A and B are shown apart, each in its own frame.
Chain A
Amino acid sequence: MKNEAIKIFQKKKKAVLENWMKFQLADEGLREDLMSNEDLRSQSEELLDAFIDNLSDENIDDPANSAFEAIVDILSGISISRAKQGFSPRETGIFVFSLKDALLNVLQQEIKDPQELYVQSLKIIKIIDSFGISTFETFIKGREEVILRQTDEISEISTPVIRVWDGILALPIIGTLDSARTQIVMENLLQEIVESGSSIAILDISGVPAVDSLVAQHLIKTVSATRLMGAECIISGIRPEIAQTVVHLGIDLSQVVTKASLASALKTAFGLLQLQVVKKQKQQQITE
């Protein structure tokens, strides 16, 4: 004998869907900007079909039954795609939990005996709750994928080498200077020195939040490597608080040419190249 609730759902599938759609559309947080109502309906219909088709006497008491795997798969797909589209967890949660409301609503209309209604409702609630849990698990997984992708993107932001003048390169370093980053910075810099035939490189560390002994060691290594290539390296952008910290730490940067600002580093570089920046004289004065 088939379970009462299953029979009702199979008979009243249409009514359940209508009910469910009604609940979803009634929600204030409905994201029509992210998904059209037609898409929402077809998504809902697919899930409901899978749910009712898979529901049987054996598994209605057992939310962990393998027969529900197909539904959990569909839910996972929906959940991950929603996470990527930018739905909030609440919106995805409402999608699943409003199905519970719809199912219980139909049960209430069909089953008159309160005892039976309670027993059947409890089973449905348990199943939908377990769906809810797996939805959240996959939703978070989807979000984590987004975070991982962003992490990759951030680490891919390479440090650009800028030719500020003929023979002068500048490298603004922004963010934490760790071993991997130093390696990229050094490679880019040395490569650019060869390609441009520059003799002076300015490393600007204005954007480095803290200079600890490891960062200092990386800087010293970069300077030494630049010198081996026959170029001079100036470190600029040393803020007052960084200067004090470096002194307290006991790091010896006296072998390195350091400047407070990129402008003064550039001035030093001009000096080294025996260049001079002069104010343009007015036309009159020349003719006089």
Chain B
Amino acid sequence: MVTLNRESMSIMREIDVIPFRNRLKEYAVKIGMSLVNQTKIITAASELARNMLKYANGGKVTIEVVSKGRENGIRMVFKDEGPGIPDIDKAMKDGFSTGKSLGLGLPGTKRLVSEFAITSEVGKGTTVIVTKWKNG
């Protein structure tokens, strides 16, 4: 996988999500992603950004345009220094939430993107890496 372009943004308040989403959309349009996939990755991004805000008081996002073989895609790294997730398996189940939400954020996001990886350490923070291929 080759990184063609990289940009970092910090998400500290709810209003930071809007410029982040617009930026992401620009990249998605640039690599020629279809409207459905654009909507999917934007929804996944706002899901993860909101999680960061809600549970970790914000964090950092890196947007990358990546290329593998003949396929282009967008990779995002969401990194926070929040409380961490004690039981990732449980957090990845539909309907589980510690915060009175629908509990679809993490499992739903996984269904929306092509590749999904999460690492978390209690007390240290959580990192979520997602990739969406142009035609994936």
- Binding partners A and B: yes
Q: Does B42 contact A (CB under 8 A)?
A: yes
Q: Does A245 contact B (CB under 8 A)?
A: yes
The A contact surface, by secondary structure, is helix
Residue-by-residue, is B104-115 near A (CB-CB < 8 Å gives 1, otherwise 0)?
110111011000
Residues of A within 8 A of B101 (CB): 213-214, 217
Count CB-based A-B contacts (< 8 Å).
63
Cross-chain contact B42 with A210 (CB below 8 angstroms):
yes
In the complex, what distance in Å separates the CA atom of A212 from the CA atom of B102? 11
Q: Which of A96-104, A164-172, A236-244 contacts B (4 or more CB under 8 A)?
A: A236-244
Cross-chain contact B104 with A251 (CB below 8 angstroms):
yes
Cross-chain contact B39 with A249 (CB below 8 angstroms):
no
Cross-chain contact B108 with A251 (CB below 8 angstroms):
yes
Q: Does A189 contact B (CB under 8 A)?
A: no
The B contact surface, by secondary structure, is helix
> Looking at the complex, which one of B36, B102, B109 makes contact with A240 (CB distance below 8 Å)?
B36
Residue-by-residue, is A213-253 near B (CB-CB < 8 Å gives 1, otherwise 0)?
11011000000000000000000000011101100111100
Q: Does B43 contact A (CB under 8 A)?
A: yes
In the complex, what distance in Å separates the CA atom of A251 from the CA atom of B17? 21
Q: Does B47 contact A (CB under 8 A)?
A: yes
In the complex, what distance in Å separates the CA atom of A249 from the CA atom of B40? 9
Residues of B within 8 A of A176 (CB): 17-18
Cross-chain contact A245 with B47 (CB below 8 angstroms):
no
Residue-by-residue, is B27-43 near A (CB-CB < 8 Å gives 1, otherwise 0)?
00000000110111011
Cross-chain contact A242 with B102 (CB below 8 angstroms):
no
Name which residue of chain A comes closest to B18, CB basis.
Answer: A176
Cross-chain contact B43 with A214 (CB below 8 angstroms):
no
Residues of B within 8 A of A151 (CB): 15
Name which residue of chain A comes closest to B40, CB basis.
Answer: A245
With contacts A210-B21, A248-B112 known, is A242 near B104, CB below 8 A?
no
* A:178-220 near B, CB below 8 Å: 178, 209-214, 216-217
Q: Does B10 contact A (CB under 8 A)?
A: no
Q: Does B46 contact A (CB under 8 A)?
A: yes
23 A-B residue pairs with CB within 8 Å:
A151-B15, A209-B21, A209-B42, A210-B21, A210-B39, A212-B46, A212-B50, A213-B101, A217-B101, A217-B102, A240-B36, A241-B35, A241-B38, A241-B39, A242-B39, A244-B40, A245-B43, A245-B112, A248-B108, A249-B43, A249-B104, A250-B104, A251-B104
Apart from the given pairs A212-B105, A249-B47, A251-B108, 14 other A-B contacts in the complex at a CB distance below 8 Å:
A151-B15, A209-B21, A210-B42, A210-B43, A211-B43, A212-B43, A213-B104, A214-B101, A248-B112, A249-B104, A249-B108, A249-B109, A250-B111, A251-B104
> What is the interface of chain B, defined by CB distance below 8 A to chain A?
14-15, 17-18, 21, 35-36, 38-40, 42-43, 46-47, 50, 94, 101-102, 104-105, 107-109, 111-112
